[in-house]
Amino acid sequence: MKKLMSANWKMYKTLGQATDTARELAAALGELPADREVLVFPPFTAIAGVAGAFAGRAGFSVGGQDLYPAAEGAFTGEIAPAMLLDLGCTWALTGHSERRHVLGEANEFVGAKTAFALDAGLNVCLCIGETIEERRAGRLEEVLTGHLAAGLADVAKDIGPERLAVAYEPVWAIGTGEVAGPADILAAHAYVRAELEKLLPSHGAEIRILYGGSVKPENTGEIISLDNVGGVLVGGASLQASSFSRIVTA
């Protein structure tokens, strides 16, 4: 399966800025390498602009950074899967550490979002990962098990591997400049793979596991060459087309 090279633009970029960056990215990349896919998660206000900039370009997709697990209703400030699909999204992000640790989302709520988005026709990238306190306490496997078990609890056991990705993001490496070393990434991704094979026996061996956390053009090549690394989820280094295009082709 192709490497999924993903960008999370978080709460950055106006509509015009995001559209310009998407156009620059598409122009810089030209025809994608045969083994790569590009996925961008812009702010909600810029989704349609980015989708338009990518229109007709094979291998380029757009996703929503969040969603609410309901078709519609009195949920002020939230967004439904059908709204994301209407804007041109084919993916959604669930369980990002900022949703868990800044906004207080529980594992079970992340799981509800994941299953609802998949049932609604979106592909999902489920984020998991430990804090530095959890790692120092030797709780890495416990945390990953909890995130995966709850996050995938209501997902169909035979979900196609193209519909789901899991992004391992050690929280202590997000936006800090710190990067998990190759041994750390290998160990975490091997554990995630084993858990996926247990939880989703039909296709757990094929689901892409992305690495996220201070990914840069300079370290991407080493990271994606590691076993069980099916791509990356990039924050700050994806905000400029010149930087992210180098990551995509690393």
Which of the residues are catalytic?
A: 96, 169
- Match 């640790």 to its residue by tokens: 101
Q: What's the CA gap between 145 and 129, in Å, rounded?
A: 10
DSSP 8-state assignment for residue 201: T
Farthest-apart Cα atoms in the chain, separation: 48
Q: What's the CA gap between 205 and 209, in Å, rounded?
A: 10
Sign, Cα dihedral of 19, 41, 54, 217: positive
Q: What's the CA gap between 206 and 142, in Å, rounded?
A: 23
Beta bridge partners of 56: none
DSSP 8-state assignment for residue 44: G
Q: What's the CA gap between 33 and 224, in Å, rounded?
A: 14
